[in-house]
Amino acid sequence: MLERITGLPTGIDGVKAIGKVSKADYETVLEPLLDGARRSGHRLRLLYDLGPDFKGFSRSAAWEDVKVALRFMRLFDGCAVVSDVGWIRESVRLVGFTTPCPLKVFANHEGDQAIAWLRSLNFAGPAAVSHHLLEKTGVIVIEAKTALRTQDFDALTITADAWIRAHGQLQGLVIHAREFPGWENLGSLLRHVRFARSHLRKVKRIGLVTDSKLATWAPIAAEHFMKADVRAFEYGDLEAAIAWAGGSSGQASKPAAVGRCAPSARATPSAVR
């Protein structure tokens, strides 16, 4: 079985294996933890304890372990595996070269070192893109603050893809940024392009809540390469933008600009649906 580890330092989540681990254990313990992080936009530092109480995986659990890694690994800031089992230790070392996050294995007696290592992981500032999904309306709200990073788009992709698989498209995407923050590096720019290319045709409405000059030209440019209805709002009108993106009518006060439904980039109140 799997059970959550309590009493860990703030910012670290943990799961401990006891006896033989089954597919049901993943579905009832680990996957809800990971899915909750995906929905809230929370990044994980995970302690996975496969210590002396661990007796092995069922065949279905081993396959579930692979599937969980493929689905959720991009949500991790780091993962520490504690185990003395030889094949697990070697597997972690091998896979660690290909994972998008730091992955390290520790011996059973090194649990404290594993926690210390997770706490020591240092990333350049807060997440540039934090996001949360409003499940009642199918709207993702994005807060963009500092230079955009590859891992922020990875986490956003997981949230968007899960909703699109279940519902066909997103009702809305609301981007809240006082000014456009730019990209951390070339890789971040390319990841942004890839996200836009694969997802923006699956979004019904996009609200830009910003004081940036982006509000002037983005809705007009959007007419040429995406199906979404794009509108810009003043930075303080986040709630109005969320209501509009979710399909509410008569809620979008003070729009800064409008795309796909008016010839002018500046909208009047009567132009807002």
**Per residue in 69-125, pLDDT tens?**
667 777 888 899 999 999 888 888 777 766 667 888 999 999 999 999 998 886 545
Domain boundaries, the chain: 2-120, 129-271
The CA distance from 15 to 33, in Å, is: 10
Q: What is the 3-state secondary structure (H, E, C) of 219-246?
A: HHHHCCCCCCEEEEECCCCHHHHHHHHC
**Per residue in 174-185, pLDDT tens?**
989 888 777 766
Write down the CATH superfamily of domain 2-120: SpoIIaa-like domains (3.40.50.10600)
Report pTM.
0.52
The CA distance from 230 to 204, in Å, is: 9
Query: What stretches in the chain show pLDDT beneath 50?
Result: 124, 250-255, 257-273
